[in-house]
Structure 1
Amino acid sequence: MNRPQTVIAYINVAHALDHLMMLIFATAVLTMAVEFGVPFGDLLPLSLGGFIAFGALSLPAGWLGDRWSRRNMLAIFFIGGGLAVAATGLARNATELAIGLTAIGAFGAIYHPVGTAMLVSHAEKLGRDIGINGVWGNLGVAFSALITGALTQWFGWRAAFFIPGAVSIAAGIGFLSQVRDEKRLGSKAGGQARIGRDEMMRVFVILMCVAFSLGITFNAVTVALPKLIQERITLFGSAPAVVGAIGFIVYVCGAISQYTVGNLIDRYPLRTLFLPIGFAMTPLLLIASVAHDWAMLIAATGVVTIMYSQVTLNDAMTGKYTSDEWRARAFAARYTITFGVGACAVWLVAWLHRIGGFALTLQVLAALCVLIAIGALLFPRDREEPAGLPAE
């Protein structure tokens, strides 16, 4: 039988690599646009296929994880994803680049439904372990900006794909050697949420609405942040390494929030946390839409912090409301919506930025996040957790 700590360690590394590999292009494109002689707004949509695959293939990946093997699916993610990323670094034109980015998204789709289901099955404290896992994912986003910016500036954009690809392949080999396929486990972190069946449909609808709104916002912000930093935060220059370093700092703050919220999930009812987090996104995005320099840095940090807090909260909700037999498919359904509509965010950012800059882009996202606030208001209380009291 596998040691839970070993399995969770590889799941955490996979989460970091998943987000890092998916967002290499978002920073590298700043340099690639110059080399390819194509404007940013025209080159960015080449990643659309990758984001569509990232969402659309979540369902079959989750089904295979439940019906075949979560361990083997995660191994395919590590090795297949690494090969796809490295191959993208060999692209010679826009067509080859689009194919490579689509392949990255296809393999990247495996992680969230399969890896998160494995995590919940091996977790000892659900909130804590989801929070820590979220930190790893957030660090992957943060390092995608930092590492890609540094590698692009010093060695060229191709190295920014080659090196992470090699790391992922090496991690996959280690995973196969240290983690065996095993009989499915029930969650160690507690059973399902204590709400009535009549409220389950309400929870499902709320989670799907939040997945829709957060999916577009999450992908729009993560894809646009390097360009947003380059345009709105000019205090330290606009070199790729500088943009990457600022992005890294912003995402580290988001990682801290995920760890904090993860620990709070083990102590308080989900609705108690959902209300303040759900209501914070819209005003922060409106502030960011008009901010520059230091004000923009603070606002962007606030947006990313709340955004990732909501992601952690949503993972805990999904994990508590599903049995292990269906867990990968439940996560797959949620992530299909989150990342499926997120694919629209690439087109949305390119289009809105072209006609109204980031002011219009962030204002549209702020309006969309009103859905999250409504979801927080309608979310039911756990029957065994009185309002305002810590959960046992």
Structure 2
Amino acid sequence: MNSNDRSIVGLLMLAHGMVHTYELSIPIFVTIWLAEFDVIALAGFEVGVTQATLGLVVTAGYGLFGLGALPGGILVDRFGSRRLIAACLFGMGGSFFLLGVAPDLVVVTVSLLLWGLAASVYHPAGLTLISKGMRARGTGFAYHGAAGNVGIGLGPLLTAVLLLLFDWTAVATVLAVPAVLAGLYALRAEFDETAAVEGVGTDGGDPRAEGGVDSLSEFVAESRLLFAGAFVVVFVIVMGNGLFYRGVLTFLPNLLEGLPGFDPVPLAAFVPGIEAGAERTLRPERYFYAGLLLVGIAGQYLGGKLTDHVPPEYGIAGVFGLLALLSLSFLPVAALGIGPLFAFGAVFGLTLFAAQPLYQAAVADYTPAGTRGLSYGYTYLGSFGVGALGGAVAGAVLTYADAGVLFGVLAGFALVASAAAVYLVVRD
């Protein structure tokens, strides 16, 4: 990587880690909200809190995380990545400050909506910056993905550790501070956002390497152009990924609570002098969850490096086929005990996160540089917007059926994504 590449990847590793720190700390809070709140009360109406209703609350925030990616992608093409990344970081910090003073689930919901809106612009901004600013694109995707998984794993781990000492509202407030500091850094970092595509379109290259969307008619025209080609198949892949990802992670700590070996352990057993109580216990499921996500660091790096050596379609087909098999194996392996489940969790985490850089590279391969922000906007509309429904699906299945049915549904999502990738291979 050259100096411009290093400057870009440094900022994006920091920002990507922040985004996923907040995203994956939310399921840790879900287990607390299920125990702390009995009803959601708004305008005289009250709804009981269950996995289904809380799944809808979380889906609302995660949904905006994806839905906002499309307008965010349009803004990236017009105004560049730096401003939107800084706004994203400041907005996420503000939303967690609000979460820290939330007296009920209504304010919790508002906080999650604001977080989703702020976070939604990051992926189109960050991935456009890699694809247009970095010459070592595959390495950029690899480091970017790995940094995201540092946040994905360390965010929940830090949250779980802080919850040993503080109330959840205080923990949310503490978590808000790093995003504000990262936002200040984003305003000062120096780099060329278009170093990798300079001259393209002026010397016989892609004539759409420059530009963006200036009007509704251009938006419609560029969208039609994208979906008239193979990008529509890539969009199916990212929707399948999003539904699987959100469906398996939203309630994973809650699912693990009832398994053998995951009983709460009083903190007093490890720290003499501390009185054990409801909030003074080690919750093994939180640390298993964080560990599974940390393993994803290697998965992201592996997936990113694979894009430099094999067509992403082949990798996508294999990874999602394996995820389907692992989903169907989750409960049978869990029945063998906590040791086999830990080993299985490492494989699961590695595979789950290897998929992301592969489909990110596929988007770059099947879209023009000039509307790359729009392309990644649609990508994260599918992955995190449509994909957010995975949390609602998981909550409903767990409320009205059981975990076995849930993992069967998740396997179906993975098989659809794998089949779409196989279609791209055959088509090419």
Task: Tell me the TM-score range normalised by the shorter chain.
Answer: 0.7 to 0.9
Find the residue that maps to 1:155 and give its secondary structure. coil
Match for residue 76 of structure 2? 65
1:72-91 to 2 correspondences below 5 Å: 72-91=83-102
Tell me by how many angstroms 1:85 deviates.
Answer: 1.4
- The alpha-carbon distance between structure 1 residues 241 and 169, as it changes in their structure 2 partners (threshold 3 A), is farther
Distance 1:139 1:118 in 2: 20
Residue 308 of structure 2, aligned match among 260, 263, 266: 266
Q: Quick one: which amino acid aligns to residue 233 of structure 2?
A: I
Question: Are residue 330 (structure 1) and residue 330 (structure 2) matched?
Answer: no
Match for residue 228 of structure 1? 255
Cα-to-partner distance string for 1:100-123 (whole Å, 9 max, x where unaligned): 011000001011111111122232
- The alpha-carbon distance between structure 1 residues 355 and 247, as it changes in their structure 2 partners (threshold 3 A), is same
Distance 1:233 1:254 in 2: 24
1:86-235 to 2 correspondences below 5 Å: 86-179=97-190, 184-187=194-197, 203-232=230-259, 234-235=261-262
Whether contact under 8 Å (1:233, 1:294) holds in the other structure is no
Residue 288 of structure 1, aligned match among 300, 322, 330: 330
Match for residue 196 of structure 1? none
Tell me by how many angstroms 1:179 deviates.
Answer: 3.5
Residue 343 of structure 1, aligned match among 388, 393, 398: 388
Whether contact under 8 Å (1:285, 1:299) holds in the other structure is no
Match for residue 15 of structure 1? 16
Whether contact under 8 Å (1:145, 1:243) holds in the other structure is no
Match for residue 374 of structure 1? 419
Whether contact under 8 Å (2:239, 2:386) holds in the other structure is yes
- The alpha-carbon distance between structure 1 residues 118 and 139, as it changes in their structure 2 partners (threshold 3 A), is same
Cα-to-partner distance string for 1:116-166 (whole Å, 9 max, x where unaligned): 111222323222220111111112111222111111221111133112211
Distance 2:228 2:97 in 1: 43
Q: Which ranges in structure 1 are unaligned for 5 or more consecutive residues? A: 193-198, 384-392
Match for residue 361 of structure 1? 406
Find the residue that maps to 1:96 and give its secondary structure. helix
Whether contact under 8 Å (2:61, 2:115) holds in the other structure is yes
Match for residue 50 of structure 1? 61
Cα-to-partner distance string for 1:207-238 (whole Å, 9 max, x where unaligned): 11111211100111221222223233625746
After TM superposition, the structure 1 stretch with the greater mean CA deviation from structure 2, 50-59 or 221-230, is 221-230
Match for residue 35 of structure 1? 36
Find the residue that maps to 1:92 and give its secondary structure. coil
Tell me by how many angstroms 1:72 deviates.
Answer: 0.7
After TM superposition, the structure 1 stretch with the greater mean CA deviation from structure 2, 82-91 or 28-37, is 28-37
Whether contact under 8 Å (2:292, 2:348) holds in the other structure is no
Find the residue that maps to 1:288 and give its secondary structure. helix
Find the residue that maps to 1:360 and give its secondary structure. helix
Q: CA RMSD in A?
A: 2.6
- The alpha-carbon distance between structure 1 residues 183 and 312, as it changes in their structure 2 partners (threshold 3 A), is closer
Distance 1:49 1:8 in 2: 30
Find the residue that maps to 1:54 and give its secondary structure. helix
Tell me by how many angstroms 1:202 deviates.
Answer: 5.8
Whether contact under 8 Å (1:219, 1:342) holds in the other structure is yes
The two structures have a TM-score, normalised by structure 2, of 0.81
Q: Quick one: which amino acid aligns to residue 270 of structure 1?
A: P
Distance 2:289 2:354 in 1: 17
Match for residue 252 of structure 1? 294
- The alpha-carbon distance between structure 1 residues 144 and 270, as it changes in their structure 2 partners (threshold 3 A), is same
Tell me by how many angstroms 1:382 deviates.
Answer: 10
Find the residue that maps to 2:168 and give its secondary structure. coil
Distance 2:18 2:312 in 1: 28
Cα-to-partner distance string for 1:4-63 (whole Å, 9 max, x where unaligned): 322221111111111111222210222233232465514343222211211111111111
Tell me by how many angstroms 1:318 deviates.
Answer: 1.1
After TM superposition, the structure 1 stretch with the greater mean CA deviation from structure 2, 319-328 or 269-278, is 269-278
Distance 1:263 1:169 in 2: 31
Q: Report the number of matched residues.
A: 375
Distance 1:295 1:356 in 2: 26
Which structure has the larger Rg over C-alpha atoms? 2
Q: Quick one: which amino acid aligns to residue 382 of structure 2?
A: I
The two structures have a TM-score, normalised by structure 1, of 0.88
Distance 2:245 2:157 in 1: 19
Find the residue that maps to 2:103 and give its secondary structure. coil
Tell me by how many angstroms 1:240 deviates.
Answer: 5.3
- The alpha-carbon distance between structure 1 residues 174 and 250, as it changes in their structure 2 partners (threshold 3 A), is same
Find the residue that maps to 2:309 and give its secondary structure. coil
Match for residue 6 of structure 2? 5
Match for residue 387 of structure 1? none
Q: Quick one: which amino acid aligns to residue 105 of structure 2?
A: A
Whether contact under 8 Å (2:256, 2:262) holds in the other structure is no
Q: Which ranges in structure 2 are unaligned for 5 or more consecutive residues? A: 40-48, 207-225, 266-280
Cα-to-partner distance string for 1:256-311 (whole Å, 9 max, x where unaligned): 02212222221223344233223211111000143323343333433332221111
After TM superposition, the structure 1 stretch with the greater mean CA deviation from structure 2, 350-359 or 97-106, is 350-359
Match for residue 388 of structure 1? none
Tell me by how many angstroms 1:377 deviates.
Answer: 1.8
Match for residue 311 of structure 1? 356
Q: Quick one: which amino acid aligns to residue 243 of structure 2?
A: I
